[in-house]
Structure formats: structure tokens, C-alpha cells
Structure 1
Amino acid sequence: MKQAKLHIDRHFQVGEVDKRIFGSFIEHLGRAVYGGIYQPGSPLSDKEGMRKDVMELVRQLQVPVVRYPGGNFVSCFHWEDSVGPKELRPARPELAWFAIETNEFGLNEFADWAKKAETEIMMAVNLGTRGVDDAKNLLEYCNLPKGTYYSDLRRSHGVEQPHDIKLWCLGNEMDGPWEIGRKTPYEYGRLAAETGRVMKMMCPEIELVACGSSLWTMPTFGVWESDVLKECYDVVDYISMHQYYDNYDNDTAEFLANSTAMDRFISQVVSLCDAEQAKQRSSKKINLSFDEWNVWYHSKEADKKIERWTKAPRQLEDIYNFEDALLVGEMLITMLRHADRVKIACLAQLVNVIAPIMTSDKGAWRQTIYYPYYYTSVYGRGRVLQTLVDSPLYTTKNNGDVPYLDAVMVECDDGSLSLFAVNKSLEDDITLSCDLRQYEGFRVERHIVLDHDDMKAENTEEHPDTVAPKSNGASSMENGHLSAVLKKHSWNMIRMTID
């Protein structure tokens, strides 16, 4: 059995967790909207066509913010198509995903859904085929109360009160060769600066997210962030990060080491932001919006066979397995360990499309990745403690020497402690110890474990609980010292409260 230690001090804190780090994403893509959150005529939907079973699962996750309407979709999106009487809305060829967008579900319907789902909106503007004026008009439609053309247009559509959206994305993945309206860093930086400046003239209280490189592996990474921020540093508040991981090589140990790459990615983007801050002699700090992250690869072969120009095809419908849940748990731990700078993050996506929630006409069920997302969202809010991990290492091809243990401790808002930990060893349990005498009187309340003998085990509609959490973890507190056994290849949450 392997041995590991955690070292913490209650006075050494990384920072406060911004609840928006547990955000998610709904794009007009595949069955995320149609057949996902919206299915009029279904006995599972309310009178507005919103899937009630899906909404309940979203509420359980306590998702604080949902990015909308894309994603690649936004770079060719005319928001005016999605408002007003449904019978007058045009169907459009959707060039990002080669489907037909009917616009039956649009901006105001999504705002209604967000209220019912008890979440906020992170709205994206089209900087691919459109620009400053369109973004200004959309903001006016959404946020001004009345008395102007677009605010009164909204009211004529039956929406009396403004949506009051506070968080806005300035385009999406604008360095991607797949993106409609792809830009050079200078072109995008200037457009983001002018668009953001005009938007803040109208609503000074909003926050703006500039596009970072589409992926860490992009040839533009680094130079893109520097050149974009050079142009728009004073206007924007965050820069975006996107990253997906895969296991095409079927190498579980290497796959689970990707949290190390993610940690390095975050640190490098922080350095790029701070370098530009120094160059500009600015007191303003740019934080990070990791607004697309997940595992994505299971569905890619099937997606090559999808017929073009169909409505809401089954697209990007990854069926997640147990090892995917372990990495998702690690990615959440990694972002919490950078809570001082990662202030927004969006699991991409929320329903059906690379998602923790899947649906059919008969109901909705939780994928394996739902569980680490759920527990970390609900019990990971508070102050992140600097968590020093003393763990045995293993050697990987792409990430060098990697610790078997990923862990982070959160001092929660109610005074309790939450320890999130993943044992990446495929052969051995880990005995974990941590000196918690600074938290006098604390005891282990429960130890939740997500584990399975089969790394490829999946949850399906017929067998939705194949991979499910259990309250059978072995941990205890004696004289202020935490001892726990973390099973081989397992995700764990240990909750500690005072007597």
C-alpha cells in the first residue's frame, strides 16, 4: 500500500472560490437544446416545453452560470433570428456544426429556462461575422429597462423586465481555423477592445471575457494571449481558456496524468496575463475564465457519419466511462487549486452534448462525470487552503513524473472542511494522513467514494447506476490527525465537521 501526506495550514489560503467556477455550457449543437433542455409536447416537459427532469438534475448540481449560445455556433449567429413570434423566426443553415437551426428556442426562452434552473447567463456575442454595433444592440435588448428601440422591442416580445446579464464573452475561439470569421491576434484584439469599450459605455457594471487561444496545443498559444491583451487589457476582465482531453491510446495512467498538463496550462496563462500587466504598468489584474473543459473523444467517429443539414442530430454524444469521471474530478481539483485566478469555468457541456446529463424520450440519467461535478459544486465553496501533496510518483511519456495523488482542501462557508482526492494508482490503495490539529474538535462526517473495478464502466439508460458514489470510505480523525484509505483508482470526498 502506498503512503501519502497532505500538509496544510488554515492561515495559508489560495483564495476564495468564486462559485462561477462550477458553471456549465449550453450551445445550439446536437441535442443540447432540442431534446435536451427543451422538448415541447413531451409528458416530461412543462407548459413552456422545458424538460422538468433535466431541470431537476441541473438544480441538484447548483450550476451558478451557463454560457450561451456558443461556442462555435455564435460566430455566425444573428440573435434577432431567435426573438419575437416563433412563427416568424427564420430557419438557418448552421455553419459551425452543419445542421439546420430552426430558432424555435432562442434568447428569451433560454432566459426563462435559466430562471427556472436557478442559474445566471454568460452571454456570448458574435465577433466572427458581426461586431461592435451588433453587440451594442444585443446588450441594449437584454439589459436596458425601456425607452430605447431594442429595449422596447424586447418588451413588445412579451418580456417586460430586462434580463440584466452581467457576464459577456467577446466571441469564441477566434484563432481557430474551424471558426467562422477567424482573426489574427491584432484583428481580434482591436475588435474586442472597441466592442468591449462600447458595451461598457452602455452598461459599466458588466464583466467581459476576451478569447484566449482555442487550445493549449494551438501554434498561436502564448503569442495570441500577449498580442490580444496588448490591445484590450484595460477593457476586459478575464481571458478564456479551453481544453479537452482524450484517451485514444487507451493508456489510463497517461490519461489520468492530464491534470498535470492542465495545472501547467493555467500557470502559463497566469504568467502571460501578469507579464502584460507589468508591460502596461497596470494595477489591474486579469483573471481566467476556463469556459470550456471536459473529456471529449468517444463520439468523434460517429459524428463523421452524421448527415448534413438535419435538425438537432445526435452529435458529440460521448458516453462517459469511469476513468473519465476520475479525470473530471482531477480537473475540478486543479481549478480549485488555482482559485485565486480561475474565477469562472464551464464544464462543456450540460445536457446530451459531451455532458453529465443524458436524455431520451423516456427520461434523463446521470453520466459517470456527473458525480465529481455534483459533489465538488455543492461542497467545494469557501476558501481553498494551500494543499501540499507529498505522494509517490509515476513516470509518464507526456507529463514526466506525476503524483499518484491529486488533492485539495476547502474550508467551506459553513465552517466545515471538504477534502477532494483522486488516487490515480491502478494497482494500489493509498494510505493518506494529514495533521489537522488547527481544526480542534473536528470529526469525519462522511467519506464518499466513486470507484469501480472496470475503468471502462458506463452509465446507460438501462443501467443508470453502474458507476455511482458510495458512503463507504475508510477514514477517521484521532487527536486532530486525519487518516484515510483511498482505494486504487478512486475519486473521494471526505467531509469534516466540528462536534
Structure 2
Amino acid sequence: MKAELIVNRYYEIGDVDDRLYSSFAEHIGRVVYEGIYEPGHPEADDMGFRQDVIRMVKQLNIPNVRYPGGNFLSVYDWEDGIGPKSERPVKLNSAWNSIETNQVGIDEFQEWAKRAGASVMMGVNLGTRGVEDACNCLEYCNGTSRTHYADLRRKNGFKEPFGIKTWCLGNEMGGIGQPCRKTPEEYGRLAAETAKMMKRIDPEIELVACGSSHRNMPRFGEWELTVLYHTYPFVDFLSIHQYYEKGSRSTEDYLAKSVDMNRYIKSVAAMCDTIREIKGLDKQMNLSFDEWNVLGKGIKQDGKGVYAPPLFECSYTFEDALVVGCMMITLQNNCDRVKIACLAQLVNAIAPFVTEKKGKLWKQTIFAPFFYSSLFGRGKTLLPIVECDCYSTKEHYNIPYLETSVIHRETEKELVVFAVNRSLAESMELEPVFEHFEGCRLIEQIELYSDDLAETNNADKERVMPNIVSAEQSIILKKHSWNMLRFQY
């Protein structure tokens, strides 16, 4: 099979925001406790943070981490997680039916983020709490005046404000399982009033309003248009979330899910533009895709009332890694509207790497596509013009076998091509045509491939790992493989 890729230097989609490679750390399962925080671990630092996890976050070059949820956000009292640890209450995490010790709160998490070289994307509870609580949390984190909550932060040992820039106005407030679920009208009004109050306290912050929990929600579309009608002048982003899973569908359909993702992004962006025209505003509403991933098999969602239960933990397959690679490519190709994207989650729960209690960490199959995208996928996304064979399935029509994005790293004089060959039977010979790039030559090809689509990694052996492909005259993408190709000009 042959495929032609045409790229023109002047056909740009947009700049890739560094925050496209963000992550998410919710108080769920073992993400926080036994994930980033494990006092007594051989690698624990003076605050109980696992330094091996911090090194991994730095290796992934994650710029931004959303916190503290997730469904947990809708039941969380942020004041439970500040001040002396001995005085913090142990509570039921009713979102996930587990024990919350509150030994990690915003005091600790903002310090962890500094040590990991990341910024915090903070959420406020618009479920069980509301406007006043959101404003108090903002004052505590960012306040500079001699006021109650800013002084409380100082009393707790933090003289300087945390300076958190990006804030989420609740989480999935229309979600079917969301605590204190709202109608579009209820949430739109609440989010607008919260946004106005928060920007009075700190005009420099960015605010993210909740979109639908996923594209198949019963009120998808109606939710976006109603919420945007109320919030458009006051917020900076609309959030979208999406997880895909294999289930009973074919591999061909599973690998085509990124096409659904692309349509989802385009449709929500169109809704944003519709409200902009109705309101007569100039501001473009951008998107925060702040939960995305695939769901592996056998995940558990009930914490059974215990501390740090293994919720949402799974062994990702090589097939899952291909889908993650396709989803990452889709985000890059929509970087003109998607400015923030958070791979959910950071560690242990549906995550790119896993920690063993009192032990080591290991990489899931999905690690490599995210890692290489984060390292080499920053710059300008160019429009990929693709000529290749297509296929159709029960769920999808006319799906190209080649899924690809092209990043122009101008400072490095590089073009980076991310490519997935969806064919289950044939290798693909790729013929790139780079217009207005003189002397472009291939300098590296990294390949993620396994003969077995069901292959997994575990603590004992990481079987699915990237390989360097020897440079040949022709560029070959193996059947069902993910690839990164670096060209220099």
C-alpha cells in the first residue's frame, strides 16, 4: 500500500499551545495517594512525594495538571485540605466511595507541581458548594491583600500567593452520575455569576466552563449552546471530555474513533462560533479538552469504602496505544481551537505509567505516543494533505488508512510527522512531499509496533516499547503501527 503526504510551509493550522500536553490528577483510586504521594517510600522526599513520579512527569514534559477532579470536585471542601495535617478531617470521598484523608490538598499539590515543573489547573466545586466557596478558594490561592483567606494562607506557611492562572468552573455538571447535577440553564447561570465574581477578585485568571460529559449525552448541543449563551462574555474556554473503549467493536472501528473525536471538536467549535455571532462578540472561544483517553478492560469504579483503592486501573494493550496515538494526532490537528488537553489520568488510574506500592514504576503501552508527542509535537501544526486508500465498517465510512499530523519546529529546522497506519494487513510506503522546505531529509524514525494487538506491559516486563528504525531509501510504516518521523531542512 502507498500513501502520499503533501505539506506546504504556508498552510498552517495553528500554533500548538504547550498545554496540549497537560495531565489530570484527581483524588480517585491511587492517583494522589500511592501515586504522587507515598510517605515512607524509598523515593519519597521531605513532603512524602515520590521523586520517581516527579522525574517521570518532567520526562514527559507535562506543563499543566488539572486538580482535584473530576467527580471528586463536586463533593470536595477545599478547606479540608489546608493547614496542619494533624487537624484535617478524614472523610468519605462520596464520588468514588473511598476514604479521603486530606493529607494532600492545595497546599501540598501546588508545591508538588512546582517540584514537577508544572502549573496547576484548579477546579472549584459548583456541585455541593457554590459561588462564595469558589471566591474564597481563589482568594486563598491568589490573594495579595490583608484579607481573611489570604492571611489564612500566610498563617499556613505560604507567604507568597500561589498564582494559579487557570480555573475550572465545576466538573461535568450535566453528567448523569455527577453529584448535584444541573440542567443547562441552571449551570449556565451559576457559572456566569461565579465567573463574574472570580474575575473581580483576580482579573488575570482564565476560566473554563463545563461542556457535555461526552458527545453521546442526551442533551449534547443544547447544553453547549445554553451554557455558552450565559457564560460567553465571562469565560475563556469551554471544556469537552471523551473516553473511548474497545468493547465488542472491531479493531477497525476502534482505530477510527479519532474520526469521531475530530467531528466532536469541530461541532463544539461551531457552537461556540454560533453564540459569538448571536452575541456580536469578537472573542474566539477556545476549547479545553481536559479529559481524554481510552478505557482499558476490567476497570473498577467502586472504592468499597477503603483508602487508595485500585480504581480505574487496567493493563493497556498495544491496540489501545494506537488509538491514543490517533487521538493525540487529532488534538494536534485541531490546535487552532483546542489550547488545553489533559490526558486522564496522570498515574495509576487509566494512566501512562503505574506505581507499585513501596516499589518501582512502569510504563503502560500508551506511554510512548504521549511521550514523543509532548517532546517533539510543539511548534506549528501544518495542514496534512493525504492521498491513501480508505476503508469502511459498520460504524464508520471512508476512513483513511493513514492518520497523520505534521509539526513545524522552526527553531530546530525540523518537520515532525506523527503517523498511524490503520491497516491490519499491509505495510504502507509513505511518500512525503514538502513544499517550500529545501533539502528536507529524514533523520529519525521511531516506531511502536507489536505483532499482537492484545500485547500488554506489566511491572515485570515492558513488552511494547518504541524502536528506532534504520533509515532506508523508502519510508515504511508497518501494519497497525504508530510512528514518529523527524525531517530536517
Q: Which residue of 1 aligns with 2:424?
A: 426
Corresponding residue of 2:394: 397
Partner of 2:119: 120
Residue deviations 1:353-373 (CA, integer Å, cap 9, x gap): 100010102111111111000
The equivalent residue for 2:359 is 362
Q: Sequence identity, in percent?
A: 48
Aligned-partner Cα distance in 1 for 2:298–2:376:
31
Aligned to 2:89: 90
- AA aligned opposite 1:285: Q
Classify the secondary structure of the residue corresponding to 2:372: helix
Q: 1:311-340: per-residue Cα shift (whole Å, max 9, x none)?
A: 110110021110111110100100111110
Contact 2:447 2:484 in 1 (8 A): yes
Of 316, 341, 346, 2:337 maps to 341
Letter in 2 for 1:362: G
Aligned AA (1:485)? I
TM-score by length of 2: 0.98
Does structure 2 conserve the Cα–Cα contact (< 8 Å) formed by 1:26 and 1:68? Answer: yes
Name the structure 1 match of 2:49.
50
Structure 2 unpaired stretches of 5+: none
Determine the C-alpha separation between the residues in 2 that align with 1:318 and 1:65: 24
Equivalent position amino acid for 1:461 in 2: A
Going from structure 1 to structure 2, the CA distance change for 1:340 and 1:43 (only over 3 Å counts) comes to same
Residues 250/271 of structure 1: CA separation in 2 closer, same or farther (3 Å cut): closer
C-alpha distance 467-202 of structure 1, shift in aligned 2 (>3 A): same
- The answer on whether the counterparts of 1:248 and 1:297 sit within 8 Å (CA) in structure 2 is no
Q: Deviations over 1:142-195 (max 9, x none)?
A: 011341111110111111111100000000001112111100101100000000
Q: What letter is aligned with 1:251?
A: S
Q: What are the superposed Cα offsets for residues 88-136 of structure 1, whole Å, 9 maximum, x if unpaired?
A: 0001111110111110111111111100110011000000011111111
Whole-Å Cα distance in 2 between the matches of residues 26 and 399 of structure 1?
A: 33
1:480 aligned residue:
none
Determine the C-alpha separation between the residues in 2 that align with 1:413 and 1:147. Answer: 46
Looking at structure 2, the residues matched to 248 and 273 of structure 1 have their Cα atoms a distance apart, in angstroms, of 32
How far the C-alpha of 1:33 sits from its partner, in A, is: 0.6
Instruction: Report how far residue 412 of structure 1 moved.
Output: 1.1
Alignment of 1:293-308 (within 5 A): 293-300=292-299, 303=300, 306=302, 308=304
2:315 aligned partner: 319
| Candidates 379, 384, 407, aligned match of 1:387 | 384
CA distance in 2, matches of 1:294, 1:455: 18
- The letter of the residue matching 1:493 is M
Q: 1:438 to 1:307 in 2, by over 3 A?
A: closer
Give the equivalent residue in structure 2 for 1:202.
201
Compute the displacement of 1:297 (Å). Answer: 3.9
One-letter code of the match for 1:264? R
Matched ranges for 1:12-51 at <5 A: 12-51=11-50
TM-score normalized with structure 1 length:
0.96
Structure 1 consecutive aligned stretches of length 4 or more whose deviation exceeds 3 Å:
473-476
Q: Deviations over 1:259-315 (max 9, x none)?
A: 110011111101111111111111111010000000014133xx26x5621111011
Among 478, 484, 487, the alignment partner of 1:493 is 484
Q: Which residue of 2 aligns with 1:479?
A: none
SS in 2 for 1:324: helix
Q: Give the letter aligned to residue 151 of structure 2.
A: D
The alpha-carbon deviation at position 434 of structure 1 amounts to 1.6
Q: Paired residues, what number?
A: 487
Tell me by how many angstroms 1:250 deviates.
5.3
Q: Which residue of 2 aligns with 1:436?
A: 434
Q: Is the 8 A contact 1:419 1:495 kept in 2?
A: yes
Name the CA distance, whole Å, in 1 between partners of 2:260 and 2:93: 33
Match of residue 406 from structure 2:
409
- Residues in 1 aligned to 2:265 and 2:472: alpha-carbon distance in whole angstroms: 32
Distance 2:191 2:472 in 1: 51
Task: Check conservation: 2:9, 2:435, Cα contact below 8 A.
Answer: no
3-state SS in 2 of match to 1:122: strand
Pick from 456, 461, 464: which aligns with 1:463?
461
Supply the distance in 1 between the matched residues of 2:418 and 2:279 (Cα, whole angstroms): 38
Offset, 1:475: 5.1
- Matched-pair contact (CA < 8 Å) for 2:168–2:209: yes
Cα displacement (A) at 1:74: 0.2
The alpha-carbon deviation at position 399 of structure 1 amounts to 2.0
